[in-house]
Structure 1
Amino acid sequence: MLPGNVMEIMASPSSLFSAYASFSGSMMLVRTMVNDIIPRPVQAYLWQAIRRLFKANPPVQEHLTLVVEEYFHGQNEIFDAAEIYLRSKIDANTDRLKISKSSDEGVLVSFAKDETILDTFDGVELKWKFVTVTTRRQRRVSYDEGEESQEQYFELSFDKKHKDKIIGSYVPFVIEKSSELKGKEKVLKMFTFGGYGRSWSSVDLQHPSTFDTLAMEPEQKKAVMNDLDRFLGRREFYKRVGRAWKRGYLLHGPPGTGKSSLVAAMANYLKFNVYDLQLSNIRSDSQLRELLLETGNSSILVIEDIDCSIDLPERSAPTQKDPRSELTLSGLLNFIDGLWSSCGDERIIVFTTNHVEKLDPALLRPGRMDMHIHMSYCMYHSFKLLAANYLGIPDTDDENHCHRRVFTEIKGLLAKTQVTPAEVAEELMKSEDPHVALDGLVKLLKQKKRETPADGKLETVEEIEDQLKEKVKIE
């Protein structure tokens, strides 16, 4: 039971109001005295100390966010390492994922847009976030919406006080861990440049071509593989002689002879990413230089149909334009073997053309295109490989072979006919019955034999084989 005077005070509103007025007046007097006696800087310090003393909640952590862009003066190795490392951190708490699958590999799981992954390192909590930004660039001439370009990056957030530990220890740990994971399974990438975006865009390279399935003459195939192996093992040699660690290949021959398949086979053999560059999308030498600086090490740069992709002004031809505003032959040559060619290691450059005679001789000299590979018409060995791949017919010359008769007929027709491996493969795909497919190929070859070549000249198998021995040049 409360005392009587307390009950009276509580029951009287006028008493409560009187007490409040008295307290307010006292506080105003104290405030005036404090302002007159204590300097304002001292007041601010005291109030800050009082707030810290009586604050109920713990202090809020100050977070730092590191942005890991996909490209930074070239392919960002930290971005690649983070992408591989974080795949191993995906667990049941991840809400959204992106999956893909190639024909010869398992399901690949990667991050969806704006997905976050939590990680810990030496007691420090970290949060990764995958961000994708899509921008649309308006074309100057037309009024359409233009083309889209995407930028991808990771955001790494943590308590700011651990900055030195994260940058000095955690980031190297991620790079080292990703190297271990990459050795177990590397997903090859195909990079393209559309002409309106600011950098390369990539997709998984899923081309199944290998040297085992490539319709190519054995001696020529072995020469290419030996040259690639020799190139990979000579890093110290290139450094010692003062040359950029790169190799140039010129693939030339009629359409359909397997030039693109050879590039894919090289990529799968070396485990190199591929950069497919269309010169028609390049506006100037400076843009070409910026793009090539963004290519990663251990990669293949492919420029297809270089003879007809763009008209490159001659180095000696007079021009009224600013050289910085156009793509020139000298700019391309400077990248191939000039000072800019040394910006990167373990790189392969591949030019393809259907008409080697149309190329400027400056592109063909040693040091630029080190190995010239003539992709010829289909010969008998290439046919047997295609028959084994498409029809499951063993590659054998046994006299008791059930298809011996038709094989012999095809061998004779190939010696007198110009037909590409692509045409042979297309004919073999028309039926799963080997007898039907081979009969169709015989009809095709007989039809080709009756046709007269455009130049009135037909090369024999012996002539083509002699050309291969001369044109497969290894430095």
Structure 2
Amino acid sequence: MSSPPTVLSLTASMVNNIILDPAQYYFKSAIGYLISLSSTRRTIVIHEFRGRITRNELYEAAETYLGTKISPDTKRFAVHKTKREKKLNSSIENNQEIVDIYQNVQLKWRFAIAESQNPNKADKKFFELTFHKKFKEKVLDGYLPFVLEEYQKIMNNDKVRKLYAMNLSDDYGEIGRNWGSINFEHPATFETLAIEEKTKKAIIKDLDKFVSREEFYKTVGKPWKRGYLLYGPPGTGKSSLVAAMANYLNYDIYDLELTSVKTNADLRRILATTTNRSILVIEDIDCSVELRNRQLGNGSYNKKLTLSGLLNFIDGLWSSCGDERIIIFTTNYKDRLDPALLRSGRMDMFIHMPYCTTQGFKVLASNYLGINGHHKLYGEIKGLIEDVQVTPAEIAGELMKSDNARIALGEVVNFLKRKKFKEHDIEEDKCSGSEKEAKRMKRKKIADRTTRNCRKITTGVGSRRC
């Protein structure tokens, strides 16, 4: 004799031939409801997003965990690996199933994709977890927390940092869901940064203190976040410092281009989808017209994306959405920023990225040429660096011109002298006639000496111009 679910299923299959639309839809819905009442199976649906914008951590956990459960019975699955990942990673494909056993309970997973009919909207992905109804409490209170724990172990053991950027969409209802990512493989570390040692130590100390104070932030009733402002001329290493911080903490990076955000509402949707243990970077904030100093009277109040909208995320109600997050702003011109952005409590640490110093140069020489001790040209280079404004990026460009330390350092010397002459030319424009002549004669003597030194440095490597 057939079971009630079987009878109901057969009845439903006959509906198409007996009952015409639109009554067919309602009749089939009723049959489905009766089947669910008589069935001993229960199904939990785990969507990729909760609501419109919040990413479901349980979905990510299931996706990662099930990748370790691929069996010979799995008919179709994907395999992927990046250069820096230790092993191959697997994931199931659409409409594929995986059976898992937890404390002698059989659980069946199925992955599915509901394709969107709107080309501007993303497809909806979800997992279905099916089990016997008598194990409902065990699944909710035991199995799913177990999946989350296994997910954290996997992520901690073999995490590959990600660099996220926003994928633009014409449909603002979907904006924020479309963070695209690539593996973040920037080699910068604090050891390779061309900044003062005391600055490095101060930053590392601040980062260590931040990540270890979860209970402190709860006690004082503040969101667990930290804000940094990196300011200084272009080429002084602001982006490299961000990369070094991400590598040190093993955090993902979200690179937000404010000029592509149209409204405060879009900004909230975008930022709400960033994950914990991440760094949000807004580079060159002084170039975002909407957020410049309100005292300039440039009509920024009429913009849909406003300074107040950004500040609300930094330290307003929206700042509590997430834990262990770092927000970094960079600017070439600190004096152009609105004072409200610089207020204490919004930016916790101000980090000045100056022109290259002698100590910074030695780090670069070690990085590019492997020079860890003293070199006879260091004295001359030290004097020139103290006398001209040169960025670490400019010095690095000269050091890359040759693998030979003597030649490469000679290039640095000549570059710094040329730069010094240019700066003197600018100063001469402000001098009187007699002062200009005196400076011209002095510069000619230095130029003659530079030419002689250049010939000595390049001896044996062909006719080379300095």
The answer to whether TM tops 0.5 is yes
Look up the match of 1:287: 266
Q: What letter matches 1:405 in structure 2?
A: K
1:90 Cα deviation from its structure 2 partner: 3.8
- Residues of 2 paired with 1:329 and 1:107: CA distance? 45
Cα distance, 1:231 vs structure 2: 1.5
Counterpart of 1:335 in structure 2 is 313
How many Å apart are 1:269 and its aligned residue?
Answer: 1.0
For structure 1, the 5+ residue unaligned runs are 1-45, 139-148, 398-403, 458-475
Offset at residue 64 of structure 1 (A): 2.9
**2:223 corresponds to which of 244, 260, 282:** 244
Distance 1:111 1:137 in 2: 25
* Cα drift, residue 153 of structure 1: 3.5
What is aligned with 2:13?
Answer: none
Task: Give the Å deviation of 1:414.
Answer: 1.3
In structure 1, C-alpha distance between the alignment counterparts of 2:45 and 2:296, rounded to whole Å: 49
Please give the TM-score of this superposition, normalised by the length of structure 2: 0.73
Offset at residue 182 of structure 1 (A): 2.4
Q: How does 1:169-318 map to 2 (within 5 A)?
A: 169-196=142-169, 198=175, 199=177, 200-312=179-291
Per-residue CA deviation, residues 115-151 of structure 1 (Å, 9 max, x unaligned), is 654433333132242759688856xxxxxxxxxx755
Q: Which runs of structure 2 are paired with 1:329-408 in the superposition (5 Å)?
A: 329-394=307-372, 396-397=373-374, 404-408=375-379
1:112 and 1:185 mapped to 2: Cα distance?
Answer: 19
Equivalent in 413, 416, 436 of residue 445 of structure 1: 416
Query: Is contact 1:245-1:347 (8 Å) kept?
Result: yes
Match of 2:405?
434
SS at match of 1:248: strand
1:89 corresponding residue in structure 2: 69
Cα drift, residue 427 of structure 1: 2.2
Deviation at 1:298, TM superposition (A): 1.7
- Please give the secondary structure, in 2, of the residue aligned with 1:182: helix
Secondary structure of 1:368's counterpart equals coil
The one of 150, 155, 158 aligned to 2:130: 158
Aligned 8 A contact 1:279 1:310 in 2? no
CA separation of 1:150 and 1:384: change in aligned 2, threshold 3 A: farther
CA gap 1:70/1:265 in 2 versus in 1, 3 angstroms: farther
1:343 is displaced (CA, Å) by 2.0
- 1:47, CA displacement in angstroms? 10
> How far apart are 1:409 and its partner, in Å?
2.3
Residue 411 (structure 1) aligned with residue 351 (structure 2)? no
What is the Cα deviation at residue 194 of structure 1? 3.1
Measured after TM superposition, the shift of residue 48 of structure 1 is: 8.3
Cα distance in 2 for residues equivalent to 1:182 and 1:71: 22
* 1:37-64: CA deviation from partner (whole Å, max 9, x where unpaired): xxxxxxxxx9988x87xx9xxx998673
Q: Does the aligned pair in 2 maintain the 1:74–1:296 contact within 8 Å?
A: no
Q: Deviations over 1:361-392 (max 9, x none)?
A: 11111101111111111112112212222222
Provide, for residues 307-360 of structure 1, a one-character-per-residue CA deviation record: whole Å limited to 9, x for no partner.
00332377799999997x811111111211112212222211111001111111
Structure 1 distance, partners of 2:89, 2:242, is 27
Report which of the two has the higher share of helix: 2
- Alpha-carbon distance in structure 1 between the residues aligned to 2:200 and 2:316: 30
Check 1:440–1:281 CA distance in 2 against 1; reply closer, same or farther (3 A cut).
same
Q: In the alignment, residue 271 of structure 1 is paired with which amino acid?
A: N
1:84-133 residue CA offsets vs partner (Å, 9 max, x unmatched) = 3233224555544342324x553552437536544333331322427596
- On the 8 A contact 2:278/2:324 being kept in 1, the answer is yes
Normalising by structure 1, we get a TM-score of 0.72
Structure 2: gaps spanning 5 or more residues = 11-37, 429-466
Structure 2 Cα separation of the partners of residues 419 and 93 of structure 1 = 63
Moved more, 225-234 or 127-136: 127-136
Structure number with bigger Rg: 1
Whole-Å separation in 2 of the counterparts to 1:133 and 1:113:
14
CA distance in 2 between counterparts of 1:250 and 1:283 reads: 23
| In structure 1, C-alpha distance between the alignment counterparts of 2:245 and 2:129, rounded to whole Å | 40
Q: Secondary structure at the match of 1:250?
A: strand
Conserved? CA contact 1:278–1:304, under 8 Å: yes
Matched residue type, 2:318: W
Identity across matched positions, percent: 45
| 1:352 aligned counterpart, secondary structure | strand
